[in-house]
Structure 1
Amino acid sequence: MPGEDIESRVGKSNHSSTGSAYSLEDRDRNWVSWLIPLFVVANVVMFVVEMYLNNCPKRIKNRGFNYGDFGDKCVARFLGRLQRLGALNWAKVVHQHQGWRLISCIWLHAGVIHLLANMLSLVFIGIRLEQQFGFVRIGIIYLLSGFGGSILSSLFIRNRISVGASGALFGLLGAMLSELITNWSIYSNKVAALLTLLVIVLINLAVGILPHVDNFAHIGGFLTGFLLGFILLLRPQFGWLERRSLPAGVRARSKYKAYQYVLWLISLTLLIAG
């Protein structure tokens, strides 16, 4: 009927057909995730390179296998050598103009536990996002968030090096939050979606309590990803998605809501200004 709320009608039908937090989740998941697994492989390969540069195979051969030598201790005792591979160092970035370290540092890790924690989080968070939004948008968010985290870290941490994919990971978390905000009206189970995201964020924030954790990279990555989410992760609204099946005389809704355009513009302005 012309007077019926098309968005409500579609929302009800989607809600009754699925119990997921997304009412459009099944429809949107048409991407095959390959970039996030590739990122994981790249991080593991770089860690193997670190082990060889730190002469770990020789240490294991001469002294017998020991988890400490193979893992965190083997790498941590030679953190200085990480600079050869591109660890973030304020002095080298500023005085030696090695800006490439702002990106290279996100592919390096200081130990096995550090690597496993980040890669498990990346798989858990990143694959789902890539399935929903594709490799281009998620890849951009991941890399730019890592870059943003490195910038903030280099501004506040000047007396030690920094490595790890945590800034990029927090960028994905920030993007998840902004995606939830800007696409709020198309969630069929808003409470479940919000609680799930809050639990994930709180768990990752708790990691920041541990010693030697670069919280500035976390904050910079999160803020960058949060702003990018408003720009890159917009979803069309129900009325626009169902425009082809609307009865004659019923006016289709616009593709995006007014607040989505406002958030998009504000986020873009802040990113450019920052």
Structure 2
Amino acid sequence: MSREDLESRGAKISGGNNNASSVSAYVIEERDAQWTSWLIPMFVVVNVALFVVAMYINDCPKHKLGTDGKCVARFLGRFSFQPLNENPLFGPSSSTLEKLGALEWTKVVHKHQAWRLITCIWVHAGIIHLLVNMLCLVFIGIRLEQQFGFVRIGIIYLLSGFGGSILSALFLQKSISVGASGALFGLLGAMLSELITNWTIYTNKVAALLTLIVIVVINLGIGILPHVDNFAHIGGFVSGFFLGFILLLRPQYGWVTRRNLPVEVRVKSKYKPYQYVLWSVSLILLVAGFAVGLVMLFRGVNANDHCHWCHYLSCVPTSKWKCDGP
């Protein structure tokens, strides 16, 4: 397969935004950390290591011989970047991204490479893309892992990335997609649902809710720019939102403070009725959404045929730029 540049291939990146980091400390109450964060730092190390591997395999000086364009930062040797007219994010070529697991509809559906739905969230288009996503992951993920532990946050991260990949593949069938921010948006979605489901234990509820909503809206708004995969953002956010209702429940305050008291003065129910309702509804919707999405994907359905305006959720054409067709 020829090495076409990111723009000509319509490659989509899922990029995070540093503004999202400021809300993690604001929404979640200050309290003694129950867990030491190690999973999120490990995710960062893995992402950085895979980017180094990608640049090593890319070997721009060797593969650009006899072609137009010069490698960027050639003093780095085989780790130098593709010409900026191919990849303005200072990274490898599209063909290298494909080799390392970028999401591509044709390969997933017709060549049975479903593993790309997971591998694409570990691959980044360039060093700028990588740095932005990793900074967001550190600021958002570490606090959540300290509060809820590595198991729940790890599940949310991976399943949200998976959900973002499914939605991306259903709508972006003529381009490739890479990046971790489907998973990052899942953490944001989980923060929002955690705030809602544990509403009674927070102070400054409305201010925290509005702050988080504004940050989410801004980040999704950035996704309407060309060459940014907003479908991965939306799919990850919705997946994380439902997962937050399922995995991030906190016992009601009365149950915590009275659980060591005599039975007659204890609060009988660990959770409030609305928490049980949200848990049940979210589990049903999440399982149904994943099932329907996967069935549609492996049947080769183009979701744009069923939603003729949905492509505007990922890119809105203006006088300054054009978008790929739906």
Stretch of structure 1 that moved more, 131-140 or 201-210: 201-210
Equivalent residues in 2 for 1:112-261, closer than 5 Å: 112-244=127-259, 246=261, 249-261=264-276
The share of aligned pairs that are identical, in percent, is: 70
Q: State yes or no: 1:50 paired with 2:54.
A: yes
State how far apart, in whole Å, the 2-side matches of 1:242 and 1:70 are.
61
Q: State yes or no: 1:86 paired with 2:97.
A: no
CA positional deviation for 1:30: 1.1
Q: Secondary structure at 1:255's aligned position in 2?
A: coil
CA positional deviation for 1:88: 0.3
Matched residue, 1:26: 31
Amino acid at match of 1:271: L
CA positional deviation for 1:244: 3.9
CA gap 1:61/1:179 in 2 versus in 1, 3 angstroms: closer
State how far apart, in whole Å, the 2-side matches of 1:151 and 1:21 are.
29
Deviations 1:189-222 (A, max 9, x none): 2134223323432342232133201111111111
State how far apart, in whole Å, the 2-side matches of 1:80 and 1:227 are.
35
Q: Which runs of 5+ in 1 are unaligned?
A: 1-19
Deviations 1:136-155 (A, max 9, x none): 00000000000000001001
Amino acid at match of 1:33: S
Amino acid at match of 1:121: C
CA RMSD of aligned residues (A): 2.7
Aligned residues: 254
Deviations 1:168-194 (A, max 9, x none): 011111101110110000112213422
Q: Secondary structure at 2:178's aligned position in 1?
A: coil
CA gap 1:21/1:107 in 2 versus in 1, 3 angstroms: closer
**Contact 2:55 2:81 (8 Å CA) reproduced:** no
**Contact 2:246 2:279 (8 Å CA) reproduced:** yes
TM-score using structure 1 length = 0.84
CA positional deviation for 1:79: 0.9
State how far apart, in whole Å, the 1-side matches of 2:236 and 2:89 are.
28
Amino acid at match of 2:50: M
State how far apart, in whole Å, the 2-side matches of 1:253 and 1:186 are.
18
State how far apart, in whole Å, the 2-side matches of 1:254 and 1:103 are.
38
CA positional deviation for 1:232: 0.2
CA positional deviation for 1:253: 4.3
Higher helix share: 1
Stretch of structure 1 that moved more, 217-226 or 191-200: 191-200
TM-score using structure 2 length = 0.71
Q: Which runs of 5+ in 2 are unaligned?
A: 1-25, 63-69, 290-326
Amino acid at match of 1:79: S
CA gap 1:266/1:76 in 2 versus in 1, 3 angstroms: same
**Contact 1:21 1:188 (8 Å CA) reproduced:** no
CA positional deviation for 1:69: 5.0
